[in-house]
Amino acid sequence: MSEATVLHLDQVSRIHGEGATEVHALRSVGFRARAGELVAVMGPSGSGKSTLLTLAGGLDSPTSGAVYVEGTDLSGLGNAGRARMRRTSIGYVFQDFNLIPALTAAENVALPRELDGERSAAARRLARAALAEVGIEDLADRFPDEMSGGQQQRVAIARAIVGDRRLILADEPTGALDTTTGEEILKLLRSRCDAGAAGVLVTHEARHAAWADRVVFLRDGVVVDETGADEVETLVESGHPA
């Protein structure tokens, strides 16, 4: 069970544009994230990290190859099916939090459940449980502009995990936070993966990779290296090998 593949990119390529302006953002990438595992994705600017994450989250479709989430081929679903998958199985955490300013913390977290037809009271209960898991249940009735950046990112993580979603995708989630607050956010991601979710963390910083079980390096849309758990520490000490 703990070894189950939650995310599988099978020979995935993504080409943006056509002809002279064609950009190969990803080239035949194979990638897996298993239950209980946090995988860091690193690489220079433009290497395809965000493209990998948006494909994994069903926000974009591959030019060729297939993306499976919990065994379901996202391209076989159609737009409505993919949207449903995003609300029920996939949590996304962005650098700039992306909370809805007019909604309280609890309402932001409950929203994906309510969009999925869950009754309001049940959705709020799940939202409060998710807020408790990230340590800010007491801020449930605050609006985003009444919270610090770190608190807002905790709300975003609660929204990503609410209802026990199994795949958490995080794109530079600590980019707008100070070092200490950023480490706390990574710790939350780590503990969610320890509890059975699969996590993918896009980061520029080698020391963030210390929270991951594996590091996958991209360059020009190709996986150029993979580092196992025992090598992650060496990587952090020596810096970026790619």
Ligand X SMILES: Nc1ncnc2c1ncn2[C@@H]1O[C@H](COP(=O)(O)OP(=O)(O)OP(=O)(O)O)[C@@H](O)[C@H]1O
Residues that bind ligand X (CB under 6 A): 16-17, 23, 25, 43, 45-51
* Shorter beta-carbon distance to ligand X: residue 25 or 35: 25
* Shorter beta-carbon distance to ligand X: residue 59 or 83: 59
- Rounded to the nearest whole angstrom, what is the least distance from the CB of residue 46 to ligand X in the complex? 4
Nearest to 103 by CA among 86, 122, 85, 123: 123
* Shorter beta-carbon distance to ligand X: residue 22 or 230: 22
* Shorter beta-carbon distance to ligand X: residue 163 or 199: 199
Nearest to 28 by CA among 222, 239, 242: 222
- Rounded to the nearest whole angstrom, what is the least distance from the CB of residue 24 to ligand X in the complex? 8
* Shorter beta-carbon distance to ligand X: residue 25 or 161: 25
Q: How far apart are CA 160 and CA 88, in angstroms?
A: 10
Q: Which two tokens stand for residue 73?
A: 């081929």
Residue type, 232: V
* Shorter beta-carbon distance to ligand X: residue 147 or 206: 206
